[in-house]
Structures are given as C-alpha cells and as structure tokens.
Amino acid sequence: MTEHSEPQQNGQPTPRNASPSGQSLPGAPAPEEPQLTEPPQPRSPLPPAADQAAPAMRSATGNPTQAEPSSRAQRSTHLTTAQGARLATTDHSLRAGERGPVLLQDHHLREKITHFDHERIPERVVHARGAAAHGVFRANGAATSICRAAVFQDGKETDVFVRFSTVLGSRGSADAVRDTRGFAVKFYTDEGTWDLVGNNIPVFFIQDAIKFPDIVHAGKPHPDREIPQAQSAHDTFWDFVTLHTEATAHTMWNMSDRGIPRSYRMMEGFGVHTFRMSNHDGETTLVKFHWKPRLGVHSMVWEEAQITNGMDPDFHRRDLADAIESGAYPQWDLGVQVFPDTEDQMFEGIDLLDPTKIVPEELAPVQIIGTMTLNANPTNYFAETEQVAFHPGHLAPGIDVTADPLLQGRLFSYLDTQISRLGGPNFAQLPINRPHAPVNDMLRDGMHQTAVHTGVAPYKPNSLDGGCPFFAGAQDGALIDVPVEIQGKATRQKPASFEDHFSQARLFYRSLAPVEQEHTANAYAFELAKCYEPVIRQRGVNVLSNVDQELAESVAAKLGLPAPEPQQLEPVATSPALSQVGREWPLDGRQIAVLTCGESDASAVAELVEQIFDAGMVPLVVAPTGEPLGDGDGSVAVARTYFTARSIEFDAAVVVDLPAEPEPAVAVMFGELHRQGKAIAVLDSALDSAVAVGLDQEYEGTAQLSGTTEALSVLRSALSRHRVWAR
C-alpha cells in the first residue's frame, strides 16, 4: 500500500480497492488516502467525496446564483481567524511568559473557545436523532387529474432532501431501538417548498394535537432519573397508553417488527393525515400519501437489534450513507390513496380525519404518482441534517390540509419549534432550507437575517416601491385556499367515530403472518416486563383482550399474570398488504459475508467478490487478520476480522474456508445467523470444519456448494424474501 493516493485525471480520487478490478467498499472517511505523516506543504482543502452534495446555491431570497455549491466551503490553504487573518499556530495560548497566565488580549483563543461554546443548538424535542440525504423526485403524471401542483407534471424532476429519524431518543441514542421513525421529505418545487412530514407508521398515538405533550412526556425518560433512553419499555409510557386507549393501534404497529426497521432503505413512509388536493378545474379530492420502498419492507429481529445497538449504534445512518456511496441509490415510489371529498369525510365507514385509522389498501389501492431516488450524502451533518426545518404547513399549490385535529395542531407547533430551535424567524434562509422558488415575502430583520433587502416599503399596498410585490392569481400558480363549508358550535367534543380504539389494532394484528404475531407478543411481554408497577402490566394485558384473546393470553403467560376475561369482539377483515412476509424484492445493497482464512485461494475469493459487486450487493471478506488475501494486483482486501465481525452486518454468508484453529466468534456467528433466519452457503471443502464449530446442517437456510460460482444463485431466493422464514 502506498503512503497516499494521487487523484485521477478526472479529479476523482483513486478508489480504495476491495477487489482486483478496483471495486471499492464504502466508508472511507476522506476522498483521498491519507499520508502516513502529517503533510508538510500547504495545499487547498480536499474536495467533497464523490457521493456528497451540498444545498443548492440560492440566495437568501430563493434566487439561483452561478456559484458552485462547494464555494460556500472554506478554501484557504492557511488557518485563519473568522475575519480571515492568517494564524501561525493554534496549539498555544498567548501567555505572559512561558509559564505565565493567559492574556485576555488573545483574540484567537477567545474567538475559538466562544465559537466552540456555542456549537450546539437545542436538539429537537422529538426526532432528535436523524440521518438525511439529497435526492430527486420524478413524477409520472398520474396525479395531474387530481392535483394542479407542477411537481406532479409528467417527467418533472424536483430536488428533495429527506431526513429519517427516531422519535424518543436524544441525538446520542442508538439507531436500532424500538420506536417510530420519522420520514420527512422537503420538495424544493418551482412553486415553493413542500414538506411532506410523516412517519414509517401510518397511524399515530393520539387523535388530537392537544395530547402531544402528554404522549411525549410519557414516552421520554423518567424526569427524576433521565432513564431509560430511547425506549418505551418503562412505566410512564405504558401507564399512558393503557389508559389513553386511542393509542392502541399505533402501539400494536410499534410492537410488531415495524418498530425496528432493517434499514431506512427498507422502510415504508406515510403522510399519516388525510390531505385535500385540487385540480385546475377546482375539483377537490382527499388523499393519503404512501412511500413504497423499491427494496421492500424489512425489519430486524429482536436479537439483531440488541447486538446492533452494542456493536454499531449508528447502524441505520451508516447503512444509508454507505448504500449511496456505493451507488446502490435507495428508491421509493410515492403513491396516494384517493377518496371522494364528501361532506362527512368518511370512506367505507372509516373516518378520514382520525389519524389513528388507516384505510386498507384492498379498499383503496395505492396509486403510484412518482419515484424518489436518494443519490447524494450531505456534505456537513450540522449545516444540513441538523438545521433542516420541516413544517406540514409548507404546501404547494393544489395541496391543502384538512380539519384532522392532530394536523391542525402540528401547523402551529412546527413553526413555533423551529423559531426556538434555530434562533429566530429567519430559519428559511439557512442554505438547506432555502426555497428554489423566488421569494419576496416583505418579512424583515430578526435574528440571523442574511438577505440584504432593498426598497423602503415592505408593506401592502404601497406606491414607493412601485407597488411591488404584486399578488398572484390562479393562472400564476398562487396558493388557493379551497372553500370548505364549516358549521357547528365551538366545542371540545370529538366525533363518535373517534371512539373506536381497537378495531384497527385488531385488523393490523390479524393481518400479520404467524411469525410476525409471535414477535409482536414477545415485544409486548418484554416491554411490559420492564414496568415496575404490577398494575400497569396487568392493565396492558387487559387492553390486549380488546384486540385478540390469544395475544392477551400469550403475553399474560409470559408475564406470569392471569389471563383477562374474553371480550365480545366484532369480526374484522385482514389486509395482506400489512404483512412483511410472503413477497420477493430486489437485492440492491445487500451485504454478504465471505468467510475465509489466511490460506484461502485468493483468486476464487476475488471471483466471488466480483460476482457479488456485479449483482449490486456488497461483499465483506472476513479473515483472521486484516492482511489482504493474496499478493500483488490479484490481492483481495479484508473488510472485517473475526474479532470485529458480527452477524448483524450481514444478510447472508458464504463459507469459503475457516481457520484451522477454531475462532470462537465463528460459532457465535453461526448461531446468530441460524436464529435470525439468514441464508448460509458453505463450500463442500469447508463443510466439516464449519459443522465442527457450530454450523447446523439441518437448518433450512444452509446450502452446500461445490464451488464459489454457485453461491449467488443459491442465496438469491432467500435474500429476495429477506429471511428464511421457514425457521
């Protein structure tokens, strides 16, 4: 290995070779391989990595500029103060003599420390831990008959920025926790920014936003001890949701496998609420938004999640970034369920304004209206992922809100939160939040104002600024408030349809495959067992008897509690679309362990590695040490050692060779792969040694190979179904 890599002629750095053909593994922290010692000669800062992008170059008022996005980055070859004065050192404070006190006149010290003291902004109360990416949305024209928004015109491409997040944990919490995930998409449309701010679960805990503080306070760590972190397995959460039973449907989703996604790339997204669309003729339609991952919907099993949070608490954000860096760009189809805009706003007996309800896809099919591709990682986490500000009231012409009481409260809460979190009302001028449509809002001054406004008349009407800005008509793409008839008395009551708290939880649970139902029962038992108060555990079991008696009895038995009395339950239909089991999906970005030893045939391993790369997956060669297999141009990079590898990283494994001296980690890995339902292909030559350290030949996911060329064809079926479900 050389001390450093020279850039190629096209300006891109030489890849870190993982195979003889030059395929490279994701994860290199810099675009060039570093030198062994600190470089002595001044040079310009390195460019961003090839997989990274930055917010578009727009002025604070939304106008395009001719500058490159990277021009916002620091370009000086020398270290300077914030005002551009070059510095000779940043290692020593200015002192009164070599051993004397530090002098107050040391401006560099004070500037550096002051800025450091204020690097952090208040983290989000919820959705604090997030990961994000840039991308593009391409419409297919299918929505133009119901919505006049230009973003849906056939072939129209719109830049997007997407942030995924967990709800309960702080910024420093782990990724693979049982929690709801945020799925927020910022569309930089030509007609203004549209934010579709949803979750990976289509129903919510509460029906009215006035209960937001209650559910968050209940779910967050206990205020006396600040524990547990990023978990719902504690007394205050279960005390609330077993008393406030409108949370039952969401809790059921969260206790299912949906509560721990395998990857953001394999996670559905939902707009949760019902929105109103209007077309060019003024006709209105009600819709619910769905994001359908092209890779299918897939989750971790409980053991995987526990190991992941210890071995790699950043698993989900790393998985997303690595996939994009590798060119396995995640994609989601955006779809809508379409409903007539009737006076009662009901559909097949389901209240469309109740955010704790779904409409089964069998009753209202999801119609695909476009596809989103995430194709670039952020250049700077703070500037983009942390400072991005979403708001469900950011709408495009033709998309409007409904009277869903949860959505109505969010329209106030999000704006109020962004002002507090980002230090003032001008958060839309931060580069990641700047619209890609021209802005002339007549809003002035305030903290962090970066626009330099001209004119003297920021008011309407005016003549001193020539009457500018002018009002837009419908023909100019104006936002139009759709007239909606409103009648009735001011009241704090809710509709009778909101009183049904259990039928949708029953629909969801009975739609799951038996293995998913087993996982759900285990999750309830684990979470309730973590509650200190016996009465809360019993209450949780009692609530489940309103959903499914067998589920209630199973959880009660695991907790050592008496089973509740059976309830008279109305029959419900099932919705096959709610189960994650039974379909097949593409294999893009799947990670395959290739187990080897120091004496393995490097050429055979290299051939297998190339096949996995060519299939759009990522091979991770595991060996006793990090020394490459083979010599010279035909050598193969080792991605993991047996000491550092763990089953959670892999979707399947190919056993080429094993070390002559048994590695305890191999036995652990085989046991975990068996329990997690992952496919294992083993060469005949390695079978005996694999069995000797724990490989189960009777396991449904074990396949024998005569050579490495058979590996992919053997693994493909199990990988496309996500797991060996027959276990």
Q: Please list the active-site residues.
A: 127, 199
Amino acid at 425: P
CA-based end-to-end distance of the chain:
44
Check: CB of residue 539 under 8 Å from CB of residue 242: yes
User: Reduced to 3 DSSP states, what percent helix, strand and coil does the chain have, rounded to the nearest 5?
Assistant: 30, 15, 55
Q: Identify the CA nearest to 269 among candidates 186, 335, 338.
A: 335
User: Pseudo-torsion of CA 220, 223, 229, 233, nearest 10°?
Assistant: -70
Q: Which residues pair with 367 in a beta bridge?
A: 336
DSSP assignments along 244-303, one per residue: SGGGHHHHHHHHSGGGSBS-GGG--EE--S-EEEE-TT--EEEEEEEEEETT---B--HH
CB atoms within 10 A of CB 445: 10
CB atoms within 10 A of CB 22: 10
DSSP assignments along 510-522, one per residue: HHS-HHHHHHHHH
Residue 75 labelled as part of a binding site? no
* Cα 634 from Cα 78, distance rounded (Å): 41
DSSP assignments along 315-344, one per residue: HHHHHHHHHHHTT---EEEEEEEEEE--SS
Burial class (CB in 10 A: 0-12, 13-18, 19+), 519: buried
CB atoms within 10 A of CB 47: 15
* 343 token code pair: 């006076």
* Cα 73 from Cα 650, distance rounded (Å): 36
Check: CB of residue 179 under 8 Å from CB of residue 228: no
Measured in whole angstroms, how far is the alpha carbon of residue 48 from the centre of its chain?
23
Measured in whole angstroms, how far is the alpha carbon of residue 422 from the centre of its chain?
22
Residue 188 labelled as part of a binding site? no
Check: CB of residue 312 under 8 Å from CB of residue 620: no
Residue 414 labelled as part of a binding site? yes
Residue 537 labelled as part of a binding site? no
Strands 652-655 and 269-270: unpaired
Check: CB of residue 334 under 8 Å from CB of residue 368: yes
Number of Cα atoms under 13 Å in the Cβ half of residue 373: 8
Instruction: List the binding residues for heme.
Output: 124, 163, 212, 410, 414, 421
Instruction: List the binding residues.
Output: 124, 163, 212, 410, 414, 421
